[in-house]
Structure 1
């Protein structure tokens, strides 16, 4: 079945294309998109075989849309419906990569012949791309692992996490090649944290992204004393306009060929550049703090990515930073607020202990072992520490790795067993407290029942003067489980009722006697 997507906002065009497509064997229209933005995002996500594009669809120009579609999905054929009658526009669409132009009004024979040609080209290209990917994988062995670390909002610590994780990985895994890309174009702080001076920025590389080569991008990197390579943001904000989505894809694609691990500080703003990195990344980690504002910002970011079709929420990792005992939102509550995968190792609040390293512009000044161990565990969970190297072995041999995993599992089992034992030990105490509270409530209720019985007995004795009838009236005023133990006595001008306090429930035995008295009012 050939998957077809129609990009048109004119209902007449949509109706004609729908009617003709039903007569083409093996063709199925899977979606109708009414803007070029939606079309580009949908094609990147679904990768259809053929796109039927109306030349009046906006807001982008037809040639730009064709170029974007073919870039995002090289095996997709684009057929342009030319209703403007513009020869220059038709030529521009063909030069951009369209596989045919359909003249308007539409003729079925013309549509059928060009559709079959487009379908055949798509099938051949899909086969070639599949083979090329397999050959490339065999030749290179693997490609670098790309991970984006983005902040739900400013100030949650995403830059610190990405930077320190890159430093930690470089010094713990011998021979690994790590690149840290600062894609926070509005407020990038990687250079400040690492005291790195930029010569060439990502904006300079983006300017030549159409003719980008490995040597060009390597010349733009800053080699930090820790061993990691840095691609930094420009000093001038005006330069960031060159960092387009297509440029980011081209840059990251080349970095994959040169490095084992690429960590991207994606910033906290949903820009086209950030969205492009999120789209092509192997893993995306969103850093949040355990508060309502951060989770609201997280929700807005996720909705922006999903609307652009770059990444679903279920494909994300959520890392909780600055956890403390005073947090209103705990890990369980945060897990219920997202369908993403919650990273199992939260990072504790270490404001003062991290401040020293940030002020000194040297992460090595942070000497908290728990911080670095936490980053290593997080790296293992998201696959960063599991990335193989190109140039040398890991400091731990392959024989050690299973042992480390077994040790980790043993530790998890030990901690789980400890929690289970503590829980079992607490159960009797919890039950005892609950029973004590229940018995106190039942005792108070028994006093109330005894008072009602005394009032009933006093009334009956005042009317009849018969102690037996007064005893029957008192019994009737009590619950059935307390009637057998009731005694009624007359003390002068008062009637006293004595009964037993039930144990846990009426009729389950007596805990002790209680008595209540009521004054006898003589009838005139």
Structure 2
């Protein structure tokens, strides 16, 4: 049987050495090396979306890969692509690192400098393990064989541009189309998702930060199931606890959620920290919200440039949403696209705050009327981003989905008030 191998090696000299040895292995089909963690995960996601059979049997992760640290990358690949055997290449052969690599999900460890016999043995072992997992995954239709759910991050160019409203309604639109949806408040110091949805819940994302292996039961205990059907993972009530959520913890939490939901929407707020940066980097779609004014657009440009400098996200991989747009605004979406270098969403959200004021003040954002132009725009955006099922996205998605959401909200209100 041919073993397909995908090396993830950032250093050019190390990449040549790995490629040379892999070409000598019998029945091996090595792919060209990928240079960083983002490229590796994107490549695997694209292959998995086509078919489980398209994935390589073995992935080699070099210790100096970046920007995500090697062990965290091993953990992410193992969680998202369980049918792939991951082997870590490292100069550290200590028992401590070996144990850490196994805990992260690696199927083997190869020490530097590379030797043919050791590499061949580890690759063969990982390939055999991968073949066994694939036989198991193919035995039943309910087994998860793909890359997991879609992760969308929603970030604000600055405070007050409507980030949370956008995140909540993207999640509601996806849920109304029949998808299982998790909404995460990763604005760790000042998140408002709970206030917008009238929720009081003592568990938060900070409670998962110190857990190294998030089981389904642990995740269930931390998640609040809202009356709309959304699974909410809230920010801590005590803002200082946000510091407990490291970039590693954020990755693990979101990976666990995407393994159990078709869509994961993450409200990242307007402040960039290690946790938010990690989630934005791993997201399938990164949405940046701005308003059509000079201060906000300049802030959006600064944010995009900062993401690029920190290797979090490239400008061309970012989608900008223009909120509170008006035909008389001097700054129109094409200018925002030119200034930021991002792709501007085809949908702009109109400047009709009066439609929102009553439900925002009541903490019932999910009961926004279907006739609201703000809701229709945001739910149409959900269709543009591929968050709703195809059947619902056809035709006029904003009005179709908004109507279904309002019907549910009105029914819930009648039940609470005893009306008919």
Is the Cα contact below 8 Å between 2:290 and 2:300 reproduced in 1?
yes
Which residue of 2 is the match for residue 496 of structure 1?
none
Shift in Å, 1:159:
0.5
**TM-score (structure 2 length as normaliser):** 0.70
Which residue of 1 is the match for residue 360 of structure 2?
358
1:156 to 146, 158, 161: 161
Question: Which range is displaced more, 315-324 or 365-374?
Answer: 365-374
Which residue of 1 is the match for residue 74 of structure 2?
70
Which residue of 1 is the match for residue 403 of structure 2?
none
CA 1:134–1:342 in structure 2 vs 1: closer, same or farther (change >3 Å)?
Answer: farther
Which residue of 2 is the match for residue 199 of structure 1?
202
Shift in Å, 1:41:
5.8
Which residue of 2 is the match for residue 269 of structure 1?
271
**TM-score (structure 1 length as normaliser):** 0.58
- Give me the whole-angstrom Cα distance separating, in 2, the residues matched to 1:361 and 1:19: 58
CA 1:386–1:51 in structure 2 vs 1: closer, same or farther (change >3 Å)?
Answer: closer
Shift in Å, 1:184:
0.8
Matching of residues 352-501 of structure 1 within 5 Å:
352-363=354-365, 366-367=368-369, 369-386=372-389
Specify the structure having the higher radius of gyration (Cα): 1
CA 1:327–1:18 in structure 2 vs 1: closer, same or farther (change >3 Å)?
Answer: closer
CA 1:343–1:137 in structure 2 vs 1: closer, same or farther (change >3 Å)?
Answer: farther
- Give me the whole-angstrom Cα distance separating, in 2, the residues matched to 1:318 and 1:129: 40
Which residue of 1 is the match for residue 213 of structure 2?
211
SS at match of 2:287: strand
Q: Which runs of 5+ in 2 are unaligned?
A: 25-29, 45-57, 79-84, 102-107, 401-420
Shift in Å, 1:155:
1.6
Is the Cα contact below 8 Å between 1:45 and 1:309 reproduced in 2?
no
Is the Cα contact below 8 Å between 2:154 and 2:163 reproduced in 1?
yes
Is the Cα contact below 8 Å between 1:287 and 1:318 reproduced in 2?
yes
CA 1:96–1:331 in structure 2 vs 1: closer, same or farther (change >3 Å)?
Answer: same
SS at match of 1:349: coil
Shift in Å, 1:190:
0.9
Number of aligned positions between the proteins: 364
Is the Cα contact below 8 Å between 1:18 and 1:29 reproduced in 2?
no
SS at match of 2:299: helix
- Give me the whole-angstrom Cα distance separating, in 2, the residues matched to 1:139 and 1:23: 36
CA 1:269–1:123 in structure 2 vs 1: closer, same or farther (change >3 Å)?
Answer: farther
Which residue of 2 is the match for residue 116 of structure 1?
120
Which residue of 1 is the match for residue 187 of structure 2?
184
Which residue of 2 is the match for residue 79 of structure 1?
89
Shift in Å, 1:364:
5.8
SS at match of 1:325: coil
Which residue of 2 is the match for residue 90 of structure 1?
94
1:285 to 269, 273, 287: 287
Shift in Å, 1:327:
2.2
- Give me the whole-angstrom Cα distance separating, in 2, the residues matched to 1:323 and 1:21: 52
Is the Cα contact below 8 Å between 2:151 and 2:285 reproduced in 1?
yes
1:297 to 296, 299, 303: 299
- Give me the whole-angstrom Cα distance separating, in 2, the residues matched to 1:41 and 1:111: 28
- 1:246 equivalent to 2:248? Answer yes
- Give me the whole-angstrom Cα distance separating, in 2, the residues matched to 1:101 and 1:19: 16
Is the Cα contact below 8 Å between 2:61 and 2:86 reproduced in 1?
yes
- Give me the whole-angstrom Cα distance separating, in 2, the residues matched to 1:183 and 1:277: 9
CA 1:223–1:313 in structure 2 vs 1: closer, same or farther (change >3 Å)?
Answer: same
Q: Which fold has the larger relative contact order, with Cα–Cα distance below 8 Å and residues 6 or more apart in sequence?
A: 2
Q: Give the alignment's Cα RMSD to 1 decimal.
A: 4.2
Measured against aligned partners, the alpha-carbon deviations of 1:350-407 in whole angstroms (never above 9, x if no partner) come to 23442333222222675452122212211111122327xxxxxxxxxx6x976658x9
SS at match of 1:99: strand
- Give me the whole-angstrom Cα distance separating, in 2, the residues matched to 1:76 and 1:141: 16
Is the Cα contact below 8 Å between 2:183 and 2:265 reproduced in 1?
yes
Shift in Å, 1:154:
1.9
Measured against aligned partners, the alpha-carbon deviations of 1:36-82 in whole angstroms (never above 9, x if no partner) come to xxx6667656789445548xx99x9xxx9552242244444223225
1:328 to 330, 339, 342: 330
Is the Cα contact below 8 Å between 1:153 and 1:294 reproduced in 2?
yes
